[in-house]
Amino acid sequence: HVQLVESGGGLVQAGGSLRLSCAASGYTYNRNCMAWFRQAPGKEREGVARIATGSGNTYYADSVKGRFTISQDNAKKMVYLRMISLKPEDTAMYYCAARSSGGSWSDASTYNYWGQGTQVTVS
């Protein structure tokens, strides 16, 4: 079983930056992909970025390309999301997710484990 805990959210002005962190614990050895999703009120959960735990390959949603960067520190079992040039439309609850299977990286149903989320508000 994998536990995920996010941190780093907050209130920031448009154009500002934040770095989200996700700490993984438990049996993490079979996870092959870590991702960040977000969900705004009244909207579906949206894949933001993902990183393959082995190769480090990354993918991003078009809406965040060039502004968000996902990274990992496997030794510390940490995943990060660096966000710059934040916009009001980036306001959402951000979730860290992990999976051990395949499928479309942005399909939330393919992820086995989720954190509780951290709120990002851009004014």
Q: What letter represents residue 107's amino acid? A: D
pLDDT confidence tier of residue 116, bands split at 50, 70 and 90: very high
Query: Tens of pLDDT along 35-88?
Result: 999 999 999 999 999 999 888 999 999 999 999 999 999 889 999 999 999 999
Query: Tens of pLDDT along 19-37?
Result: 999 999 887 766 789 999 9
Q: Say if residues 61 and 44 touch (Cβ distance below 8 Å).
A: no
Nearest to 98 by CA among 51, 46, 64, 55: 51
Query: Tens of pLDDT along 37-47?
Result: 999 999 999 99
Q: Say if residues 13 and 36 touch (Cβ distance below 8 Å).
A: no
N-to-C CA span, the chain: 37
pLDDT confidence tier of residue 111, bands split at 50, 70 and 90: very high
